[in-house]
Amino acid sequence: MIGLLHHHVMNTLATHIRALTFDIFGTVVDWRSSIIGEGQALQQRLGAAGGAPADWPALADAWRAGYFSTMAQVTRGELAPNNVDGLHRLILDRLLPRFGLDQLPEAEREHLNRAWHRLAPWPDSVAGLSRLRQRYLLSTLSNGNMALLVNMAKHAGLPWDCVLSAELFGRFKPDPEVYRGAARLLDLAPGQVMMVAAHPFDLVAAQRAGLKTAYIPRPAERGPGGGMEPVGDAVFDIVAPDLGALATQLGIA
Amino acid sequence: MIGLLHHHVMNTLATHIRALTFDIFGTVVDWRSSIIGEGQALQQRLGAAGGAPADWPALADAWRAGYFSTMAQVTRGELAPNNVDGLHRLILDRLLPRFGLDQLPEAEREHLNRAWHRLAPWPDSVAGLSRLRQRYLLSTLSNGNMALLVNMAKHAGLPWDCVLSAELFGRFKPDPEVYRGAARLLDLAPGQVMMVAAHPFDLVAAQRAGLKTAYIPRPAERGPGGGMEPVGDAVFDIVAPDLGALATQLGIA
């Protein structure tokens, strides 16, 4: 009985939504392993000139933490408006001395900063997106800037129909205008769009803006013992362990 | 000798540019045949209720002409800001009575207006774009609004890396801010971007904004005897008869 009811609700939802918008860092790509791998490869490539091996997992975590805090500073007007490439570089330059990498040459810094354009997808991402794309319009909806998202899609083979970024709206998620703006650019009602994310704060904000929501927990995002953002009493339309399971729950073979 | 010089210039150009931005209506898709076909199919589907067969080629041409004149009115502030879907609908509602179609029901009008989302590519477009995409980042850069361009790409299978529209910049081509804005969103210098279009006015404006240019004459765009926009004394970096030839000229196998 509950199974039948669930099936009916899911069918109605699946036919009502037209587009899926995806959070990227952590939801579609594994930023932490990618950044650690890029950092270690960089030091290996530089050899002795690269200095003693840095604690790349700690650097990756601090870099990511700095991303949230600098975005909040921009939003509060405490830091000049900047896109995510710019913020990443600002944070990186602050972190390098702390990790014994203050001698890293400019070209290497810039290459490392662009590692965020080369993040690797989770193992289920490309196949899951390809299935979802058979029925839905798929778009990014990330705080990452357009160039970052477009370069990443090309590098990782992510099959988007459209690349949308908070950059287009001059503010960052979870500002409601980002979610509403995406629906408006796609000429859809907010309720015809489903936000897909690994982070409850993003989904709760999307929900408040009128979007449907799919929660994809990614317990490995922050590494061993890194923990996850608590869901609290939030309720989402779909919870699925990965993007393939999301396609299955939406009835796509 | 001239051949060798040309080869060298072309090689330098081909390695310097990183992204190609495409005009859409007439350059990538054949709007005229598509609109005529949609109109005739609509009347056939409606049968007697659809009225006497309208002159669809004339309606398509008038619709397209109205697109340019209403965009100019918006730019001059004589018409409220509107996206291309909105302008197309405005023009269509004005034209229908003149073509004996004033009884067309609302749902059919809206379906017909969305024919611009379903335009068919020129025969060379999909294969040519697929080759070009092996080396370059490919984006739309059309006055058509985002929803129109995204839906068209999905319908026609156009392999964009990114969908960009003049809508994102709140003005229409040939405003220089549209070309510069596209380069900025892709984090490229204007000279690393090549505008590809069938219309000299578009390319001349792109050139003034610092972009490279590829002219793809489409003599069939306006139908038999429809003529083409004169090139005048404009000089473009590349002239190619279709998108496959453009890929070949850029040295892509």
Domain edges within chain B: 2-30+120-249, 32-117
Per the structure block, which two tokens stand in for B172?
A: 């229409």
Beta bridge pairs of residue A21: A139, A195
CB-CB neighbors (< 8 A) of B145 in chain A: 185, 187
Partner-chain residue, chosen from B145, B162, B187, that has the shortest CB–CB distance to A163: B162
Question: Contact A137/B154, CB-based, under 8 Å?
Answer: yes
CB-CB neighbors (< 8 A) of A152 in chain B: none
Is the pLDDT reported for residue B2 higher than 60?
Answer: no
User: Which of A149, A184, A185 has the most B C-beta neighbours within 10 Å, making it the best mutation to test the interface with B?
Assistant: A185
List all residues of chain B from 47 to 76 with a beta carbon under 8 Å from chain A: none
Question: Contact B187/A85, CB-based, under 8 Å?
Answer: yes
Q: What is the per-residue pLDDT across B84-133, written as a single tens digit (0 to 9) for each?
A: 999 999 999 999 999 999 999 999 999 999 999 999 999 999 999 999 99
Does ipTM exceed 0.90? yes
Distance from CA of A72 to the nearest CA of B (A): 22
Distance from CA of B151 to the nearest CA of A (A): 8
pLDDT confidence tier of residue A236, bands split at 50, 70 and 90: very high
User: What's the pLDDT at A6?
Assistant: 73
Distance from CA of A223 to the nearest CA of B (A): 31
User: What's the pLDDT at B11?
Assistant: 82
Partner-chain residue, chosen from A147, A153, A186, that has the shortest CB–CB distance to B187: A147
User: What's the pLDDT at A85?
Assistant: 96
- Asked whether the beta carbons of A191 and A214 are under 8 A apart, the reply is no
Question: Contact A154/B137, CB-based, under 8 Å?
Answer: yes
Touching check for A154 and chain B: CB below 8 Å?
A: yes
Beta bridge pairs of residue B25: B29
Degrees (nearest 5) of the Cα angle A12, A13, A17?
Answer: 120
Task: Tell me the angle at which helices A56-75 and A84-95 cross, rounded to the nearest 10 degrees.
Answer: 130
Q: What would the mean pLDDT of A66-94 be, rounded to a whole number?
A: 96
Q: What would the mean pLDDT of A229-252 be, rounded to a whole number?
A: 96
Determine the CATH number of domain B32-117: 1.10.150.240
User: What's the pLDDT at B179?
Assistant: 98
Q: What is the per-residue pLDDT across A206-216, written as a single tens digit (0 to 9) for each?
A: 999 999 999 99
Q: Give the Cβ contact number of residue A21 at 10 Å.
A: 26
Touching check for B206 and chain A: CB below 8 Å?
A: no
Per the structure block, which two tokens stand in for B6?
A: 């040309």
**Higher pLDDT among residues B2 and B236, named by residue:** B236
Is the pLDDT reported for residue A182 higher than 60?
Answer: yes
Closest by alpha carbon to B118, among B22, B208, B30?
B30
Question: Contact B137/A146, CB-based, under 8 Å?
Answer: no
Distance CA A197, CA A218 (A): 9
Touching check for A183 and chain B: CB below 8 Å?
A: no
Touching check for B140 and chain A: CB below 8 Å?
A: no
DSSP assignment of A178-217 equals HHHHHHHHTT--GGGEEEEES-HHHHHHHHHTT-EEEE--
Touching check for B147 and chain A: CB below 8 Å?
A: yes
User: What's the pLDDT at A47?
Assistant: 85
Is the pLDDT reported for residue B148 higher than 60?
Answer: yes
User: What's the pLDDT at A4?
Assistant: 65
- % pLDDT > 70, chain B: 98
- % pLDDT > 70, chain A: 98
Q: Give the Cβ contact number of residue B130 at 10 Å.
A: 16
Touching check for B150 and chain A: CB below 8 Å?
A: yes
Touching check for A126 and chain B: CB below 8 Å?
A: no
Partner-chain residue, chosen from A147, A151, A185, that has the shortest CB–CB distance to B146: A185
Touching check for B125 and chain A: CB below 8 Å?
A: no
User: Which of A84, A88, A163 has the most B C-beta neighbours within 10 Å, making it the best mutation to test the interface with B?
Assistant: A163
- Asked whether the beta carbons of A149 and A185 are under 8 A apart, the reply is no
Touching check for B130 and chain A: CB below 8 Å?
A: no
Touching check for B137 and chain A: CB below 8 Å?
A: yes
Is the pLDDT reported for residue B205 higher than 70?
Answer: yes
pLDDT confidence tier of residue B154, bands split at 50, 70 and 90: very high
User: What's the pLDDT at B250?
Assistant: 96
Domain formed by B2-30+120-249, architecture: 3-Layer(aba) Sandwich (3.40)
Touching check for A147 and chain B: CB below 8 Å?
A: yes
Is the pLDDT reported for residue A8 higher than 90?
Answer: no
Question: Contact B186/A146, CB-based, under 8 Å?
Answer: yes
Q: What would the mean pLDDT of A175-188 be, rounded to a whole number?
A: 98
Distance from CA of A207 to the nearest CA of B (A): 22
Distance from CA of A192 to the nearest CA of B (A): 14
Q: Which residues of A102-120 are buried (b: 16+ CB within 10 A; e: fewer)?
A: eebeeebbeebbbbbbbbb
Q: What separation in angstroms does the CA of A94 have from each of A75, A87, A139, B26, B237? A: 20, 11, 33, 50, 43
Is the pLDDT reported for residue A227 higher than 70?
Answer: yes
pLDDT confidence tier of residue B9, bands split at 50, 70 and 90: confident
Residues across chain B: 253
Q: What would the mean pLDDT of A13-37 be, rounded to a whole number?
A: 97
Is the pLDDT reported for residue B177 higher than 70?
Answer: yes
Touching check for A187 and chain B: CB below 8 Å?
A: yes
Residue type at B219 in one-letter notation: P
Is the pLDDT reported for residue A222 higher than 90?
Answer: yes
Q: What would the mean pLDDT of B149-166 be, rounded to a whole number?
A: 98
Max CA separation in chain A (angstroms): 67
CA dihedral (B157, B159, B164, B165) positive or negative = negative
Distance CA A236, CA A215 (A): 7
